[in-house]
């Protein structure tokens, strides 16, 4: 998730600002110019060919200095090959007029202060133990030896300069926007695979999403500090084990709330608050996930995955905590840190932790960047990065705060982390186990082309960054004789930018949705239902839409599924009155078969 978030509230407040602007604006009034350019480009189709010429003109717009459009992502800014699929017109306009309002994940700029007193600003392109490579605003790259660095921190200001429109007429600006909207993902490579249909049909009657929290218990989305700088969303939700009317909701800030529902309404109370210790900056940082011990009602243990800032580094941790005897709050006892790993950049630290049916704790860990995983973290079995890990929290091995389960696949291999269960992940933000079959389903956030969903088995290599979805991505870390397991399902940019893995529905056995895996996209808000057999996609439908960005899904003990909105509402999915693949829509099935 969070590939690039939609700051709806920010957009609203900016709009207010502009509307509230009362004095007669002068010609040099920047807010007025932005508004004029925006309104003009919203209401006029420009000439895409003229826009392309402007894009390529280094003396004028200069976009080409920082952006590739061939999928190579070779420059400082994001590749724009499918930007017309990624964003609607209004947001494309905003990306150019207000670069810092919304910084693309993975493209935040870093300021490096050197021991010599010099400073550099740019986008991290490579990061090894010895040096980092920055791409600067001038389009050039510099190598900085780690030993020369005094300090290093992220900036809330985009490397993309403001005011690029000032050198263009409104008409030229509309041409440029027309060109950006014309940049669509090439479909030639993509339709070849059955798991990645070129069209995902919609159910004729979508499922319903009912707001599950009341005014008293939901989390109206909060901005803190400067608009666009820090944003704290709702990231996780679950039933309190064994309690049918109690739920726990976690915010990225580190606040965890208990929500009690009864006939008189919802009550909300603080379950735990670790906000003083979490590192929470823009994007996918902070408190990311939570899990209850399978015997929580007896031992009261629960687990948090969150980030802290230690020794000038972002460190992702898993900690064990204990609830109070009534299970309604944290006990206040000190946490026990089980596991930790330092990140290369502030992106892709995974998010999910969950107990498998085997009683072991699984930890989804991202490659931690930079973009494209240039150091091959996902394929390197000596690292925790880009892996699915599996640990035993009930026992302790010498030198560890947990034990390695005896059947972990790489237990006895030298130079390999014995915690690894599977590898080749980019950003396994959310995963779950099918409560009937035990299958481990993972939603792995993609790079520039596709989002993917996989069923993952012991010891498997899921491919990143040799593969992205079904497609080859890079040969740099490819190994002869290695088996790269393809996903079950992948989707194109036109359907979304950031997969949020969900659950296999095991609620009502009579429902046509029984056995359907439900997942969604954070940016497009689409919800997908898929059926597979032997990891081959059988059916995929767009079954509904969530009103908010989908940060997570949740499943209660009765099998009901919820969508967790990043902006603070939880929705219950209801399937009554609709069918997964009804006979009438079957005829219109354009699933590439
Ligand atoms: C100095 C380098 C630089 C220049 C020049 C530049 N950009 Fe950017 N651009 C960036 C960076 C870095 C980002 C990512 C950070 C952000 O989202 O602001 C970005 C982001 C974008 C995005 C959002 C992409 C996404 O996937 O979220 C668009 C669209 C864009 N630029 C278009 C343009 C256009 C059009 C021009 C020319 C008028 C241009 N840029 C000039 C560096 C640049």
Q: Give the position, in ligand 1's atom list, of the atom nearest the Cα of 100.
A: 18
Which residues, 6+ apart, have CB-to-CB distance to 586 below 8 Å? Answer: none
Query: Ligand 1 centre and the CA of 99: distance in Å?
Result: 7
d(CA 374, CA 357): 35
pLDDT of 189 reads 58
pLDDT of 224 reads 47
Q: Which of 78, 121, 134, 136 to mutate to test the pocket of ligand 1 (most atoms within 8 A of CB)?
A: 78
Query: Ligand 1 centre and the CA of 200: distance in Å?
Result: 30
Query: Ligand 1 centre and the CA of 221: distance in Å?
Result: 27
pLDDT of 587 reads 42
Which of 375-380's residues contact partners 24+ apart within 8 Å by CB, and which partners? Answer: 375/126, 375/127, 375/128, 375/344, 376/465, 376/476, 376/477, 377/344, 378/423, 378/424, 378/425, 378/426, 378/464, 378/465, 378/477, 379/423, 379/424, 379/461, 379/464, 379/465, 379/466, 379/477, 379/479, 380/477
pLDDT of 24 reads 36
Q: Give the position, in ligand 1's atom list, of the atom nearest the Cα of 102.
A: 17
Q: Are 564 and 552 in contact (CB under 8 A)?
A: yes
Q: Give the position, in ligand 1's atom list, of the atom nearest the Cα of 138.
A: 1
Nearest to 249 by CA among 559, 574, 554: 554
Residues with CB under 6 A from ligand 1: 4, 61-63, 65-67, 76-78, 80, 83, 86, 92, 95-96, 99, 103-104, 107, 123, 137, 158-161, 164, 176, 180
d(CA 86, CA 443): 19
Q: What are 533-563's pLDDT values in tens digits?
A: 999 999 999 999 999 999 999 999 999 999 9
Q: Kindly state the tokens that stand for 209.
A: 């999403």
d(CA 117, CA 228): 29
Give the number of other CB atoms < 10 A from CB of residue 413.
11
Q: For the chain, state the CA radius of gyration.
A: 24
Which residues of the chain carry a pLDDT beneath 50? 2-26, 223-230, 584-593
The residue whose CA is least distant from atom 32 of ligand 1 is: 96
pLDDT of 582 reads 55
Q: Give the position, in ligand 1's atom list, of the atom nearest the Cα of 4.
A: 27
Q: Are 569 and 218 in contact (CB under 8 A)?
A: yes
pLDDT of 21 reads 34
pLDDT of 140 reads 85
Query: Ligand 1 centre and the CA of 452: distance in Å?
Result: 26
Query: Ligand 1 centre and the CA of 213: distance in Å?
Result: 38
The residue whose CA is least distant from atom 21 of ligand 1 is: 95
pLDDT of 415 reads 93
The alpha carbon dihedral of 279, 235, 503, 438 has a sign of: positive
Which residue, chain included where needed, has tokens 């979805």? 469
Query: Ligand 1 centre and the CA of 58: distance in Å?
Result: 14
How many angstroms separate the first and last alpha carbons of the chain? 30
Q: Give the position, in ligand 1's atom list, of the atom nearest the Cα of 136.
A: 1
d(CA 150, CA 93): 38
Query: Ligand 1 centre and the CA of 153: distance in Å?
Result: 20
Nearest to 291 by CA among 353, 365, 336: 353
Query: Ligand 1 centre and the CA of 458: distance in Å?
Result: 41
Give the number of other CB atoms < 10 A from CB of residue 335.
16
d(CA 344, CA 70): 27
Q: Kindly state the tokens that stand for 481.
A: 């004789």
Q: Kindly state the tokens that stand for 186.
A: 């090439």
Q: Give the position, in ligand 1's atom list, of the atom nearest the Cα of 62.
A: 5
d(CA 307, CA 284): 10
d(CA 69, CA 440): 36
pLDDT of 16 reads 31
Query: Ligand 1 centre and the CA of 165: distance in Å?
Result: 12
d(CA 432, CA 556): 12
The residue whose CA is least distant from atom 11 of ligand 1 is: 77
Q: Are 562 and 580 in contact (CB under 8 A)?
A: no
Q: Which of 160, 183, 185, 283 to mutate to test the pocket of ligand 1 (most atoms within 8 A of CB)?
A: 160
Nearest to 501 by CA among 433, 429, 555: 429
Query: Ligand 1 centre and the CA of 121: distance in Å?
Result: 15
d(CA 96, CA 158): 11
Q: Give the position, in ligand 1's atom list, of the atom nearest the Cα of 109.
A: 12
Query: Ligand 1 centre and the CA of 163: distance in Å?
Result: 12
């Amino acid at each position: 998730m969070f590939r690039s978030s939609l700051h709806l509230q920010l957009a609203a407040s900016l709009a207010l600002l502009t509307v509230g602007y009362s004095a007669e604006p002068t010609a040099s009034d920047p807010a007025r110019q932005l508004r004029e350019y925006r309104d003009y480009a919203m209401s006029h189709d420009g000439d895409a060919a003229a826009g392309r010429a402007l894009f390529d003109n280094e003396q004028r717009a200069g976009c080409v200095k920082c952006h590739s459009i061939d999928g190579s992502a070779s420059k400082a800014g994001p590749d724009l090959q499918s930007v017309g699929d990624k964003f609607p017109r209004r947001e494309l306009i905003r990306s150019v007029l207000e670069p810092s309002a919304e910084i693309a994940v993975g493209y935040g700029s870093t300021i490096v202060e050197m021991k010599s007193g010099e400073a550099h600003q740019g986008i991290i392109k490579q990061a090894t133990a010895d040096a980092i490579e920055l791409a600067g605003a001038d389009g050039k790259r510099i190598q900085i030896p780690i030993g020369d660095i005094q300090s290093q921190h992220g900036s809330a200001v985009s490397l993309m300069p403001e005011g690029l429109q000032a050198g263009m007429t409104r008409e030229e600006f509309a041409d440029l926007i027309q060109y950006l909207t014309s940049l669509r993902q090439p479909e030639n490579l993509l339709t070849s695979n059955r798991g990645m249909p070129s069209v995902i049909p919609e159910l004729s009657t979508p499922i319903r999403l009912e707001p599950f929290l009341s005014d008293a218990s939901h989390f109206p989305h909060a901005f803190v500090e400067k608009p666009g700088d820090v944003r704290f969303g709702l990231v996780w939700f679950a039933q309190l084990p064994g309690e049918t009317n109690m739920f726990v909701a976690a915010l990225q800030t580190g606040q965890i709330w208990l929500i009690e529902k009864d006939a008189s309404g919802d009550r909300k109370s603080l379950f735990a608050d670790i906000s003083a210790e979490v590192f929470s900056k823009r994007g996918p940082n902070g408190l990311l996930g939570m899990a209850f011990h399978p015997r929580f009602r007896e031992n009261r243990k629960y687990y948090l995955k969150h980030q802290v800032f230690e020794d000038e580094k972002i460190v992702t941790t898993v900690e064990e905590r204990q609830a109070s005897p009534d299970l309604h709050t944290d006990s206040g006892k000190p946490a026990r840190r089980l596991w930790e790993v330092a990140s290369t950049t502030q992106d892709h630290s995974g998010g999910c932790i969950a107990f498998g049916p085997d009683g072991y704790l699984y930890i989804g860990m991202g490659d931690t960047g930079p973009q494209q995983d240039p150091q091959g973290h996902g394929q390197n079995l000596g690292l925790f990065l880009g892996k699915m890990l599996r640990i035993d929290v009930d026992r302790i091995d010498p030198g560890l705060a947990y034990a390695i389960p005896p059947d972990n696949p790489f237990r006895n291999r030298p130079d390999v982390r014995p915690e690894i269960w599977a590898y080749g992940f980019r950003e396994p933000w959310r995963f779950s186990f099918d409560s009937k079959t035990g299958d481990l389903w993972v939603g792995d956030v993609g790079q520039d082309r596709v989002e993917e969903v996989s069923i993952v088995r012991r010891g498997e290599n899921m491919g990143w960054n040799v593969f992205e979805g079904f497609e080859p991505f890079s040969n740099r870390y490819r190994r002869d004789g290695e088996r790269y397991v393809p996903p079950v399902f992948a989707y194109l940019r036109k359907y979304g930018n950031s997969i949020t893995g969900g659950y296999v529905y095991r609620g009502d056995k009579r429902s046509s949705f029984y056995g359907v895996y439900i997942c969604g996209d954070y940016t497009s808000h689409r919800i997908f239902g898929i059926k597979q057999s032997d990891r081959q996609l059988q059916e995929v439908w767009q079954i509904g839409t969530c009103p908010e960005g989908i940060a997570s899904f949740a499943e209660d003990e009765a099998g009901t599924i919820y969508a967790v909105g990043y902006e603070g509402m939880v929705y219950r999915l209801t399937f009554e009155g609709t069918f997964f693949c009804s006979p009438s829509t079957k005829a219109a099935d354009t699933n590439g078969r």
